[in-house]
């Protein structure tokens, strides 16, 4: 699926998304899952071909006889890692389970909102004027929060330019995708002047202690993303003072059921959460919107409209209205791929009986 424009972060530039979908076919319904791996292990240790391999060789045989999504997690828990591969299987089975029972993803997860606010992630660009034009366009479309990707050399001056052009009322945050070290602490503290919602994942994902030390130096709240891989790691980060806000990405934590556990844990600790994105198609977007409807998601997430990344989505497009997207209410995900669009974009299909 080609992107409407290149999306650059500190770890690389995407011009298209080669998406791995899983369809679970049961005796009662069909369910869809979307794997959020990238082609190369640059955002996380996982990558798409690796996810295919581990599912075929280990995970799919292991879930033979599993009857529901909870059973998927139980069957796969003794395998180490590969959370994104586990997540897509759980998602597909959960979608099929809920479709058969006539229940929605949002209802199953505990959603309480009919719509969710939309934030947009703005990548690193060739020039500040180009960035300002992009931010202005997103604000004109109605996005209620702007997230700027940053890296060394593209940070303080860029944020200053956005604040000077659009004012202090714009909800603004930054995302480093692990691009800094603790040696950059004083430099990152310069961002305190701009009243940001948060600084997302400034240091390496394993450097929890470093994030706790950084939180003592900068005033802007530290938000962890890549570091949060489970409810257990979330609890540890909160206890150490390494994070005061959490970005929950279901694929990164092993699925939507674990994402709900992290939400519940954070809510009990008084830590706000928001839903991150991985440039998903409408399949993953529908599930993320459902998750973002839970009560603890008090900050706008990266749940943008379909046309933020794709001219043509594989599902009916999600269209933003007044800065919000509607939470799907139909059975399961509430959406499914449009057959002719899916056929046009599909590059390979493999059926694996269980």
Q: Give the position of tokens 């709240």.
A: 221
Q: Which CATH class is domain 108-326?
A: alpha beta
Give buried/exposed letters for 226-257 (b at 16+ CB in 10 A, else e): bbbbebebbeebbeeebbbbbbbbbbbbbbbb
What is the CATH number assigned to the segment(s) 2-102+336-345? 3.30.390.10
pLDDT surpassing 90 at residue 65: no
Q: pLDDT class for 27, splitting at 50, 70, 90?
A: confident
Give the pLDDT of residue 253.
Answer: 97
Query: Per-residue pLDDT averaged across 89-103, rounded?
Result: 97
For the annotated catalytic residues, the residue numbers are: 149, 249
Q: Residue 265 and residue 9: Cα distance in Å, rounded?
A: 30
The phi and psi torsions of 93 (rounded to 5 degrees) equal -70, -40
Determine whether 297 is exposed, middle or buried from the number of CB atoms within 10 Å of its CB (0-12, 13-18, 19+).
Answer: buried
- Enclosing H/E stretch for 34: strand 30-35
The tokens describing 181, both together, are: 């070290």
pLDDT tens, residue by residue, 303-346:
999 999 999 999 999 999 999 999 999 999 999 999 999 999 99
The tokens describing 320, both together, are: 């933003």
- Residue 233 · residue 206 · CB < 8 Å: no
Q: pLDDT class for 104, splitting at 50, 70, 90?
A: very high
Query: What is the residue extent of each domain of the chain?
Result: 2-102+336-345, 108-326
C-beta atoms surrounding 311 within 10 Å? 11
Alpha helices, DSSP H, located in the chain: 48-54, 60-62, 69-76, 83-101, 105-109, 128-141, 156-166, 185-189, 208-215, 231-240, 250-253, 256-269, 282-292, 339-345
pLDDT surpassing 90 at residue 67: no
pLDDT surpassing 90 at residue 82: yes
Q: Give the position of tokens 């599909």.
A: 346
Strands 12-16 and 2-9, how do they pair? antiparallel
Give the pLDDT of residue 10.
Answer: 81
Tell me, yes or no, if the two domains 2-102+336-345 and 108-326 fold the same way.
no
The tokens describing 218, both together, are: 């900068």
pLDDT tens, residue by residue, 148-166:
999 999 999 999 999 999 9
pTM beyond 0.85, yes or no = yes
Query: Per-residue pLDDT averaged across 14-27, rounded?
Result: 94
Indicate the average pLDDT of the chain.
96
Give the pLDDT of residue 353.
Answer: 86
pLDDT tens, residue by residue, 204-236:
999 999 999 999 999 999 999 999 999 999 999
Query: Per-residue pLDDT averaged across 113-121, rounded?
Result: 97
Among residues of the chain, what percentage have pLDDT more than 90?
95
């Amino acid at each position: 699926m080609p992107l409407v424009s290149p999306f650059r972060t500190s770890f690389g530039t995407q011009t298209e998304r080669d998406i791995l979908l899983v369809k679970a076919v049961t005796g009662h319904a069909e369910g869809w899952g979307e794997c959020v791996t990238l082609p190369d292990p640059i955002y996380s240790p996982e990558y798409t071909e690796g996810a295919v391999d581990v599912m075929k060789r280990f995970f799919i045989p292991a879930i033979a006889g599993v009857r529901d999504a909870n059973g998927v997690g139980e069957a796969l828990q003794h395998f180490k890692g590969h959370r994104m591969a586990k997540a897509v299987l759980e998602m597909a089975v959960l979608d099929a389970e809920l479709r058969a029972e006539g229940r929605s993803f949002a209802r199953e997860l505990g959603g309480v909102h009919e719509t969710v606010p939309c934030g947009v992630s703005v990548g690193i660009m060739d020039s500040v004027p180009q960035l300002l034009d992009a931010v202005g366009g997103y604000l004109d479309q109605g996005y209620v929060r702007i997230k700027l990707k940053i890296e060394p050399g593209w940070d303080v001056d860029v944020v200053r330019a956005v604040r000077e052009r659009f004012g202090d009322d714009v909800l603004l945050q930054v995302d480093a995708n692990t691009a800094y070290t603790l040696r950059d602490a004083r430099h990152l503290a310069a961002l305190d002047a701009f009243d940001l919602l948060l600084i997302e994942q400034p240091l390496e994902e394993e450097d929890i202690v470093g994030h706790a030390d950084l939180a003592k130096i900068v005033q802007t709240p530290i938000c962890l993303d890549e570091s949060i891989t489970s409810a257990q790691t979330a609890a540890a980060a909160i206890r150490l003072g390494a994070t005061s806000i959490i970005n929950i990405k279901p694929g990164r934590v092993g699925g939507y059921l674990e994402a709900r556990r992290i939400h519940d844990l954070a809510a009990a600790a008084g830590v706000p959460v928001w839903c991150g994105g991985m440039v998903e198609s409408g399949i993953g977007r529908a599930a993320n919107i459902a998750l973002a409807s839970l009560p603890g998601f008090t900050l706008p997430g990266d749940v943008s409209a379909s046309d933020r990344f794709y001219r043509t989505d594989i599902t009916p497009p999600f269209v933003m209205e007044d800065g919000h997207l509607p939470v799907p209410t139909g059975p399961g995900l509430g959406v499914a791929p449009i057959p002719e669009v899916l056929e046009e974009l599909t590059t390979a299909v493999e059926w694996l009986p269980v």
